[in-house]
């Protein structure tokens, strides 16, 4: 009589840790067919941001909507608001640009998971300790972290890795975007309007040197990131 099944059962029963190890399922992640599209979209957004970082000094007054389309970083939200863009295009363009970046990174996180996080740590200088801290923050206060960091590519990617439910994600993201736009519109057109406009006047006076410096800075930052990744 074959008693191998009973023997294995007795061993597993005698050692609960072994039993747990035997029956624990291993999750296998299969990348969806649309995964490469998220990388193409992410690279496109990075290119747009780099262009904005070069032309912002010239476009902030003459083409604020176009600048905001290229990038909705905090400084551009402030500068375009003070530069004279109307509230409606500010809200629509700024909101769509922030949402696009967040959702692209979220979908990339869903598609590539830990592979994407390794790229962040390799090329963007993000440490594993920082990633762990973000994970703990999302575990404890997701409903606060997501709205507060609505403009963070890292938080967006982590929500994809963690598979945050779409309805919850979109609700929290909408709250965060609306709050962010309202806050910086109020700051740039209210209590700090004079200060921001003084900065813009200085920018207008030294547009050419600022553009040259911006080009140099963009090149240096990208070379540094590439070398950091290549040396890892």
CA-nearest of 75, 80, 84, 66 to 151 is 75
Q: For the segment 205-223, what is each residue's pLDDT rounded down to a tens digit?
A: 888 888 888 788 878 876 7
Q: For the segment 173-214, what is each residue's pLDDT rounded down to a tens digit?
A: 999 999 999 999 999 999 888 898 888 888 878 888 888 887
Q: Contact at 8 Å (CB) between 65 and 179?
A: no
In the block, tokens 């600048």 appear at 67
- CA 6, CA 111: separation in Å to the nearest integer? 42
- Binned at pLDDT 50, 70 and 90, residue 231 comes out as low
For the chain, the average pLDDT equals: 84
Which are the contacts of 31, defined by CB distance < 8 A and separation ≥ 6? 111, 112
Q: For the segment 95-137, what is each residue's pLDDT rounded down to a tens digit?
A: 999 999 999 999 999 999 888 888 777 766 677 888 888 889 9
Computed on alpha carbons and rounded to an integer, the radius of gyration of the chain in Å comes to 24
- CA 35, CA 121: separation in Å to the nearest integer? 20
Q: For the segment 147-172, what is each residue's pLDDT rounded down to a tens digit?
A: 999 999 999 999 999 999 999 999 99
pTM of the model: 0.80
Q: Contact at 8 Å (CB) between 162 and 133?
A: no
- CA 52, CA 97: separation in Å to the nearest integer? 13
Three-class DSSP labels, 48-85: HHHHHHHHHHHHHHHCHHHHHHHCCCHHHHHHHHHCCC
Q: Contact at 8 Å (CB) between 155 and 146?
A: yes
Q: CA-CA distances (angstroms) from residue 231 to 46, 116, 123, 224? A: 22, 18, 10, 10
CA-nearest of 26, 28, 36 to 111 is 36
Find how far residue 97's CA is from the centre of its chain.
12
- Binned at pLDDT 50, 70 and 90, residue 230 comes out as low
Q: Contact at 8 Å (CB) between 31 and 112?
A: yes
Q: Average pLDDT in the 86-95 region?
A: 96
Tokens of 105: 């990174």
* pLDDT above 90 (res 10): no
Relative orientation angle of helices 207-230 and 35-62, to the nearest 10 degrees: 160
Neighbours of 14 (CB within 10 A): 9
């Amino acid at each position: 009589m074959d008693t191998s099944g009973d023997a294995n059962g007795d061993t597993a029963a005698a050692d609960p840790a072994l039993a747990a190890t035997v029956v624990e399922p291993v999750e296998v992640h299969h990348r969806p067919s649309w995964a490469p599209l998220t990388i193409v979209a992410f690279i496109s957004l990075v290119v747009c941001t780099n262009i904005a970082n070069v032309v912002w000094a010239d476009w902030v007054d003459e083409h604020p909507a176009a600048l905001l389309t290229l990038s909705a970083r905090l400084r551009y939200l402030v500068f375009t608001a003070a530069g004279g863009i109307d509230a409606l295009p500010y809200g629509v363009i700024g909101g769509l640009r922030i949402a696009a970046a967040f959702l692209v990174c979220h979908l990339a996180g869903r598609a590539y998971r830990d592979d994407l996080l390794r790229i962040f740590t390799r090329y963007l200088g993000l440490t594993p300790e920082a990633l762990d801290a973000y994970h703990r923050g999302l575990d404890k206060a997701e409903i606060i972290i997501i709205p507060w960091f609505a403009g963070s590519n890292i938080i967006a990617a982590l929500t994809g890795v963690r598979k945050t439910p779409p309805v919850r994600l979109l609700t929290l993201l909408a709250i965060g975007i609306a709050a962010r736009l309202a806050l910086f519109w109020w700051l740039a057109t209210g209590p700090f309007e004079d200060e921001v406009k003084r900065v813009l006047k200085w920018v207008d006076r030294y547009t050419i040197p600022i553009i040259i410096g911006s080009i140099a800075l963009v090149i240096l930052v990208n070379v540094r990131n590439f070398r950091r990744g290549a040396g890892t």
